[in-house]
Amino acid sequence: MSDYRIEHDSMGEMRVPADALWGAQTQRSYENFRIGTETQPEGIIRAFALLKKAAAQANVSLGTLSAQMGELICDACDEVYAGVWDDEFPLKVWQTGSGTQSNMNVNEVVATRANQLAAERGIDLPTPIHPNDHVNRSQSSNDTFPTAMHVAAVVAVREQLIPAARQLVGTFRRLERENEGVVKSGRTHLQDAVPISFPQEISGWRGLVECGIEMLEASLAPQCRLALGGTAVGTGLNAPDGFDVLVAERLAELTGQPFVTDPNKFHALTSKDALVFGHGAVKALAANMMKIANDVRWLASGPRLGLGEIRIPENEPGSSIMPGKVNPTQCEAVTMVAVQVMGNDAAIGFAASQGNFELNVFMPVIAYDYLQSVRLLADAIRSFDEHCATGIVADRERMHHNLHDSLMLVTCLNPHIGYENAARVAHKAYGEGISLREACVGLGYLTKEQFDAVFRPEEMV
């Protein structure tokens, strides 16, 4: 038996692996774009499966596709969505900038599988289901790929990133309760500052994540506007009246997300501003996670020669040469992911700026980078929460020592002796290696009894 079969498209015949569900157009792309190892993200393929199902349902409702064909296409799409045919989508990110070949990859796989289902069920179709004429009916790659991008982005943020972030928020709330009453030295400019309670410091971390969630939520509405129905250049050529509205309603039903048709298809096809805005929110959360991870590893630095004010879980040996060394590896993973997200944001911004006339032709790289950012950041937040944040323990003795050794406690003397005199007290204490109490009394600003009456660090928070 031959290991290939002959398929054809508008350009002629192509040899296709005998057991592959894809056809000639997919094969052309597979052979012509041997660039890198990055293939279309799983999220894009899943989104396309939903899109093709919604389009088939809309076409049946509008009378442009038979109910029999529509059912077979929908069943094939369900299998693609479930991951049954993941190996049938081998095309690289680095292909045509409109994503045409990936759209056709889905069309061909769905058509082939739908025809197989018809044969398995003994259904005698008047004509075989065709990738273009039936699966791609009322559509163009130019409106399906941007639609798949928006669907994949919204679903990924809703189902992956926001839940991971909320999980971390819950951990921080617990840590705030557990550390009630713990007071420590604050720090600004990496220098000692006035006191802060540890729960207050943790609440700052919680706020960084909560604000990130708010920004993500705010960015979703523009991404819920879909290009589908604009077809090639935004005019809706070859799409029946009402197709755009109906297919958006179907996608909303299938995903549980508030998708609507974009009222301006010319904008929807050429602009990727909604994804730039959305990824900006992803980047904002990544930047906040960078800050949290840095705080945690600074506070856990040591164990003897650093700040050492908190202890974090010891997950693995930290050195191949230094016995007993343990590193803040979860923090490091978060910071590396944050850097990757920031790099992706720059790439997405550049790519989105390159729309020409009626189409942006940088869509596959935008989709790849966006979904990579969401996946990595969600995974990193969840890992940081489970393997680091949940195990944060305050070293209360070290916090107490550092608090009472801080020269910035002199700030509480300002109302009593004035800013300049308080500064002299701090400089004298630091220069002579004595306590603030000794320096203040020695300069004659307060008596010992007066100093003790106003110097209460735990009340400064």
CA 372, CA 365: separation in Å to the nearest integer?
10
CA 435, CA 210: separation in Å to the nearest integer?
40
- Check 2, 10, 189, 320 and give the catalytic one: 189
Give the Å distances, CA to CA, from 318 to 142, 314, 328, 382: 50, 9, 9, 21
Concerning whether 404 is annotated as a catalytic residue, the answer is no
Which among 392, 383, 380, 386 is positioned nearest to 295, based on CA atoms?
392
Sequence letter at residue 293: A
CA 341, CA 278: separation in Å to the nearest integer?
12
Give the Å distances, CA to CA, from 417 to 196, 421, 425: 23, 6, 10
Phi, psi of 96 (to 5 degrees): -60, 140
Pairing of strands 225-226, 260-261: parallel
At 20, which helix (H) or strand (E)? none
Residue 164 near residue 378 (C-beta atoms within 8 A) = yes
CA 301, CA 167: separation in Å to the nearest integer?
25
CA 237, CA 139: separation in Å to the nearest integer?
9
Cis amide prior to 303 (ω within 30 degrees): yes
Concerning whether 189 is annotated as a catalytic residue, the answer is yes
Residue 228 near residue 58 (C-beta atoms within 8 A) = no
Residue 157 near residue 224 (C-beta atoms within 8 A) = no
SS3 content of the chain, % helix, strand, coil (to 5): 60, 10, 30
Instruction: Report the SS3 class of residue 7.
Output: strand
- Check 8, 319, 353, 427 and give the catalytic one: 319
CA 228, CA 247: separation in Å to the nearest integer?
8
Instruction: Report the SS3 class of residue 363.
Output: helix
Residues annotated as catalytic are: 189, 319
